[in-house]
Amino acid sequence: ARAQAMEVTGRPDVTYADIGGLDEQILEVREAVEEPLLNPEQFDSVGIEPPAGVLLHGPPGTGKTMLAKAVANETDATFIKMAGSELVQKFIGEGSRLVRDLFQLASEREPAVIFIDEIDAIASKRTDSKTSGDAEVQRTMMQLLSEMDGFDERGEIRIIAATNRFDMLDRAILRPGRFDRLIEVPEPAHEGRRRILEIHAEGMDVDDVDFDALAERTEGLSGADLASLVTEAGMFAIRDDRTTVTMRDFEDARAKITDEDDSPGTPVA
Ligand code: ATP
């Protein structure tokens, strides 16, 4: 189960340059995760502890996983990912053992960045210890907290968690010594959307594509949506037997992604 539950990458190939519109968040992540790994003595000489864990929170598809991978890339660290939802849905009864394995593996592969996606699945406010399923979820969470208590903040293992449901989180995990550094990763604004489109279209042969105008008309789309938009634009070019991608292709892709031409009969929420 251990091999299935964790995604391990020697050194991810995502870099900060691949991330659009999150300059502030990149700085914060570098400070909280990268500095303690690369310059632990800095913290010693100032006499403070680095953050124990970092929590990235924000809507789906905004680049949280990319941020975690980019830090691992920059620090030449092993990236070990585990999804909170899998721990409670797929590996029922094995949660706390898997958490133990996770830290064990990280210590064997130092330096390492542990990324726990969907942490809300194991640390939700609504968890009620009276039902047995929830007791198991709580045990998993307790194991995580005890592993975090047991390691040295200045060591070679850093922990990043992510959630799309910050409001649902059990506040106990945000206490000092736990996930004590919060970084909000918002939906991209205009400038961010333009950068994300440009980044994803970098390898494309584009003809007269106005990324600024596209950014203007894609409010509400996430980074993941914008990545699909670029792919769709490429698909339109392929369908037309072209290798150059035009503004028209991007416009068509935008209409498709944003569901602009809702056909009649589409249920209205
Ligand atoms: P989730 O909460 O659903 O796990 P996430 O916030 O972790 O999402 P990512 O997995 O980092 O999102 O992003 C998914 C994909 O969307 C990325 O692989 C990338 O192609 C694209 N993407 C998202 N955000 C950005 C961004 N800021 N810059 C460039 N690409 C982005």
pLDDT tens digit string along 71-96? 999 999 999 999 998 887 777 788 88
Highest mean pLDDT among 1-15, 81-95, 107-121: 107-121
pLDDT score recorded for residue 49: 87
Beta bridge partners, 116, equal 82, 161
What's the distance, Cα to Cα, between the start and end of the chain in Å? Answer: 40
Mean pLDDT is lowest, of 49-63, 72-86, 170-184, 249-263, for 249-263
Pocket test residue of 26, 62, 198 for ligand 1, highest count of atoms within 8 A of CB? 62
pLDDT score recorded for residue 151: 75
Cα 60 to middle of ligand 1, angstroms = 8
Q: Is 37 exposed, middle or buried (0-12, 13-18, 19+ CB in 10 A)?
A: buried
Contact of 119 with 173, CB cutoff 8 Å:
yes
pTM: 0.91
Cα 64 to middle of ligand 1, angstroms = 6
Report which protein residue has its CA nearest ligand 1's atom 2.
60
Pairing of the two strands 6-9 and 78-83: antiparallel
Mean pLDDT is lowest, of 12-16, 78-82, 122-126, 164-168, for 122-126
Quote the longest CA-to-CA distance of the chain. Answer: 66
Cα 16 to middle of ligand 1, angstroms = 12
Atom of ligand 1 nearest to the CA of 192: 27
